[in-house]
Amino acid sequence: MLKRVKIKKKENNVKQQVSQTVKPINFSEQFEEYFIPSKLFHKVYIGDAEVVLKKKIENESIDTLFTSPPYYVARETEYWSSYDDYLEKMKRIFKEVYRVIKTGRVIGVNVADYAYEGKHYPLGADFTNILVNELKFNYLMTVIWRKPEGISSTFGQFAGNFIKWRNPLYFIPNQNFEYIILVRKGKSENIEGIENEKKKFKYKVSFIEKDLRPFLQAVWDVNPKSTNRYHPLEFPEKLVEVYLNLFSVPGDVVLDIFAGSGSTGAVCWKLHRSSVQIELRPEYIEIIKKRLNWGRRKTFSAFKVNIEYYEEIVEI
């Protein structure tokens, strides 16, 4: 059972300063052929993802999802009584994700295997099982997000005992990667309106060569240290950008059900996608909004785009 989380004002130590203003991309930098989306919106819901999805998000209203679920470790353990309980909750949430995603579209779920109190949990395998075998998404591929500079914290440093004793019986490799599980609802030929305007987007060869070439294979090198300014488990914006450039087009509606500090929304703003973000902890709402340039008009390539902004706190 999910417990209600009480946040005291005093505990709010989330960094609220946005240290860098992201510039929106110019369509002509990326695309040879494109059209300008007629409207964009950014919605932020504070509440439990399962409840918000059930109450607020309509069937087949979302084009793609990119998210990183909470870990069954550390402070997050306050929410679940066991690992099985945690997986059950994730299953209920992703059942709702299946309902709201448009048929034919892909979702990307970033998870990492982890160890807690001496036990190793194969979270990548367990999540894939839930998504594919239980919820019936179609499996596409798992991207390995490799961290070229290695891991910064003690998390994932498993080779210590081997180094200490220099004995192979102690060896467990250091974990310098995470998974991005890619699954599709239905088949790509079922995408509604595949013959419509979205099909008109065509990247420039120069953009693919410069920005996407290293990500056309299933091991993606992205340094986590480049960001991590607002949340302990923050996405590097580069990772979100690569995902969105490869699995969505401008004007799409992108969902992040575990928004944290709102990295997915910030990149949606930059790449002219609409966003729906859900986060349990209210202390993140201000930083999420700042990273979305809340309420400001957006001008780029001499176009003015009207953006609607919407926020709501949903009771658990």
Ligand X SMILES: C[S@@+](CC[C@H](N)C(=O)[O-])C[C@H]1O[C@@H](n2cnc3c(N)ncnc32)[C@H](O)[C@@H]1O
Which residue ranges make up the site for ligand X (CB under 6 A)?
2, 48-49, 68, 70, 231, 233-235, 258, 260-261, 263, 278-281
Residue with smaller CB distance to ligand X, 191 or 259: 259
Would you state the structure tokens that stand for residue 175, as one six-digit string? Answer: 């974990």
To the nearest whole angstrom, how small is the minimum distance from the Cβ of residue 246 to ligand X?
18
Q: Per DSSP, what are the bridge partners of residue 235?
A: none
Would you give the DSSP letter of residue 137?
Answer: P
Residue closer to ligand X, measured from CB, 63 or 279? 279
Which single residue brings its beta carbon nearest to ligand X? 260
Minimum distance between the CB of residue 70 and ligand X, rounded to whole angstroms?
Answer: 4
- What span, in angstroms and rounded, lies between the C-alpha atoms of 225 and 90? 27
CB of 279 to ligand X, least distance (A): 5
Nearer to ligand X, 146 or 229 (CB): 229
According to DSSP, the β-strands at 114-116 and 31-33 are unpaired
Q: How far is the CB of 280 from ligand X (least distance, A)?
A: 4
Beta strands, E only, the chain: 31-33, 40-46, 64-67, 106-111, 114-116, 119-121, 138-146, 177-184, 202-203, 219-221, 253-256, 274-279, 298-300, 303-305, 307-313
Question: Closer CB to ligand X, residue 112 or residue 132?
Answer: 112
Minimum distance, C-beta of residue 275 to ligand X, in the bound complex (Å): 13
Nearer Cβ to ligand X (31/80): 80
CB 278 within 8 A of CB 256: yes
Collapse the DSSP code of 303 into the 3-class scheme (helix H, G, I; strand E, B; otherwise coil) and give the result.
strand
Shortest spacing between CB 207 and ligand X, in angstroms: 25
Spatial neighbors of 118 by CB under 8 A, at least 6 apart, are none
Comparing CB distances to ligand X, the nearer of 186 and 282 is 282
Let me know: does 100 contact 58? Beta carbons within 8 Å. yes
Least Cβ distance, residue 248 to ligand X (angstroms): 17
Q: Which is nearer to ligand X, 14 or 159 (CB)?
A: 14
Is residue 18 a contact partner of residue 287, using CB atoms and an 8 Å limit? Answer: yes
Shortest Cβ 228–ligand X spacing (Å): 9
Residue where the block lists tokens 């914006």: 237
Own/partner pairs for 232-238, CB < 8 Å, 24+ apart? 233/68, 233/71, 233/260, 234/260, 234/261, 234/263, 235/68, 235/110, 235/260, 235/263, 235/264, 236/263, 237/22, 237/263, 237/266, 237/267
Residue whose CB is less far from ligand X, 251 or 260: 260
Asked if 177 and 158 touch (Cβ cutoff 8 Å), the reply is: no
